[in-house]
Amino acid sequence: MSHTKLWRSAAPVAACLVVLLTTAACGNETSSPPDSTSDSGQDDSSSSAEVDTSAADGDWLLGLQTAGGADAESATTVYVTYNPATGQASARTLPPVKTPSAETDDAVLLVSSDRQWAIPDTEITPAEERSGQLKVYSLPKGDATAIDIRQRTGQSDVKAVGWAFDPQQPHTLRVVDTKNRVWAVDVTGGKATQEKSLATGEWFFNNGFNHATGEPYMESIENDDTNPAGNGVADTSPITRDGGTVLANDAKALTGLPPSPCRLGAAFVDGNGTTWAFCADKASLSTYYLPKDGEEWTAYGKPSTPVAPEAATFPLVLPPAS
């Protein structure tokens, strides 16, 4: 069965940006904590008595994307693990993706819920489709693990075309093949299981996955309808993870807050309603928080030493894994 692919571009800038991170694909850079002052020059180790800042303690995972190519058609994602309380930070760079399929809302589906694994895009490369060898990248170690989708499914004819992580299972991927079968695949091993088959008729799979559930959906060949309904452009639901809300740098919710302290920043609203903003204006990341219904941002913790790339977009902020 032939498979129709429509290309989407996730790189919004028109110029080629240079990655400041000097590691190669899947390389690693670890920083030591700098002094206890923030970018503002103040010591932010103490917090307001009225605000519980304990949610900030631990390793946050930030996803930053750089753009390349003559028309900014390629994208490279750099994942930074950063503890704002100590300033400790490390980075992993994934292989670049030419004309990526994943949009901003899909960023949460490219990382496993336990923060251990990542994939470059929701679309599988033609080379991987042909070989049946799908590469998943370890964020703690930086190396790649190849999943033999044909061996895992027991189907020699399987050609995978799209995938995304299940947000409810720590290391489970949903893989869609050219026959519109949906497979659940555990990154760590074991037999893949077929969950279902997608709709047939006047529908096609265009690497669409629901950002809340990780479930794939089909798109109409005539309009913006989806099957199941309510996906695609119709899905305006917030991106929720770990009891809070992810706010990418282009999230409309950010415009309703007091002026951001960041030129390029993304945020996470925790379960208490406190918004945690991370600034990637320069290679040293910095952190601010805004209490629920607050009017002023407060600097928090320690900035990292240079570890972030010169990013075009900042789609992902995830709090420390529970």
- The Cα–Cα gap between 226 and 217 comes to 7
Flag whether 15 is in a domain.
no
Judged against a pLDDT cut of 60, whether residue 69 lies above it is answered with yes
Domain hosting 165: range is 28-47+56-318
Flag whether 89 is in a domain.
yes
The share of the chain scoring above pLDDT 70, in percent, equals 84
Flag whether 136 is in a domain.
yes
Flag whether 21 is in a domain.
no
Judged against a pLDDT cut of 70, whether residue 280 lies above it is answered with yes
Tell the burial category of 121 from Cβ atoms under 10 Å away from its Cβ (0-12, 13-18, 19+).
buried
Flag whether 303 is in a domain.
yes
pLDDT in tens, 17-62: 333 333 333 334 433 333 434 444 334 444 445 788 988 889 999 9
Flag whether 161 is in a domain.
yes
Count of domains forming the chain: 1
Flag whether 81 is in a domain.
yes
Q: What is the 3-state secondary structure (H, E, C) of 254-276?
A: HHCCCCCCCCCEEEEECCCCCEE
Judged against a pLDDT cut of 80, whether residue 13 lies above it is answered with no
Report pTM.
0.84
Flag whether 23 is in a domain.
no
